[in-house]
Amino acid sequence: MTSIGVFCGASHGFNDIYRKAAAELGAAMAAQSITLVFGGGKVGLMGTIADAVLAGGGKAIGVIPQSLVDREVAHAGLTELHVVQTMHERKALMASYADAFVAMPGGFGTLDEVNEIITWNQLGIIRKPVAFYNVKGFYNKFLEMIDHSVEEGFIKASQRDSLVVADEALLLLQQIRDQAEASLDKPVDFERI
């Protein structure tokens, strides 16, 4: 695993623990030579994790729509910055660059992006680990909703079990690596999707 796509807020949230966690994850990724693939913004948790990766000597690849560049929110100091026209292009390009994905705390955009990647895994379009950086229990309620969907027969337990959840950066990266290695030899079973 050489790159991770990170979905996160364009805000820092109200609690400084989210900013600190983003910085910790960025530093850990840089220390392990894992390239950051992210939304290309300089604001919020996006900017924090990119700055931490770069400060640690790592690489950060941003993918940002032109409309956000026009609003002057693009990060100017990245290893690479790819400007696309649409959010769909952004997600597709990020998916092509990343070996795995992490959802950090964020809003509707973060939820949209991580759910699309989970769906692509479910449909066999890609086979890449998806993780939730569950800082301060941020994703507890969301994970409860997924568990409820399993109980009601809308999501398979195996799909829920494939999601990595951790609240500490180093543990998160190790669990993603373990998940990636475990799924290398498993073919997509389209009959079960």
Per the structure, the count of domains in the chain is 1
Residue 66 lies in a domain: yes
Residue type present at position 54: L
Instruction: State the Cα–Cα distance between residues 83 and 121, nearest whole angstrom.
Output: 25
Neighbours of 27 (CB within 10 A): 17
Residue 48 lies in a domain: yes
Q: What pLDDT band is residue 110 in, cutting at 50, 70 and 90?
A: very high
Residue 188 lies in a domain: no
**pLDDT of res. 130:** 97
Residue 70 lies in a domain: yes
**pLDDT of res. 182:** 79
Residue 28 lies in a domain: yes
Q: What is the pLDDT of residues 78-87, one digit of tens each?
A: 999 999 999 9
The number of CA neighbours under 13 Å toward the Cβ of 64 is 25
Q: What pLDDT band is residue 191 in, cutting at 50, 70 and 90?
A: very low
Q: What is the pLDDT of residues 26-73, one digit of tens each?
A: 999 999 999 999 999 999 999 999 999 999 999 999 999 999 999 888
- Distance from the Cα of residue 140 to its chain's centroid: 17
Residue 92 lies in a domain: no
* Least confident piece of the model among 69-73, 100-104, 132-136, 164-168: 69-73
Q: Output the domain CATH number for residue 129.
A: 3.40.50.450
Residue 56 lies in a domain: yes
Provide the domain limits for residue 40: 3-86+97-180
Instruction: State the Cα–Cα distance between residues 46 and 24, nearest whole angstrom.
Output: 13
